[in-house]
Amino acid sequence: MSDYRLTKTRFREGVWHGLLSGPPGSQPEISVTLDAAPLRGVTLSEMGTRGQWALEVQVPLEAVGDGVRTFLITEAASGALLESFTLIAGEAMAEDIRAEMSLLRAELDMLKRAFRRHCTEAEGPAAS
């Protein structure tokens, strides 16, 4: 269990931003890994309030592509997991529930149009 708490503030233009809170004192060592390999482009800077640091994780270009990529943010000293974030793109997205919901919505809209057209056509000959 870690004495630190990490809260995501935003993820924009390839940079994950978070606020690290913990006991005032020396700056903690943070490790970010992707596929068990440490990531470069991680900065931790002290904020105006003691016991708070701004964390920025630069997502490397080689991490962007087909598939699912999970980044783990840990406290190096204890190994405690503070936070994680995932990128999903390309072919793997087809299996994602959000993609399935979008496909289901599109199919439902298509069925509604076909049903309405059928009802309109069925009413036409009976009315004559």
- Taking residue 93's Cβ as centre, other Cβ atoms within 10 Å add up to 14
pTM: 0.71
Tell me which DSSP letter residue 63 carries: G
Which tens digits make up the pLDDT trace of 105-128? 878 887 888 899 899 888 876 555
- Give the mean model confidence (pLDDT) for residues 72-78: 90
More confident site: 67 or 44: 44
Whether the Cβ atoms of residue 8 and residue 73 lie closer than 8 Å to each other: no
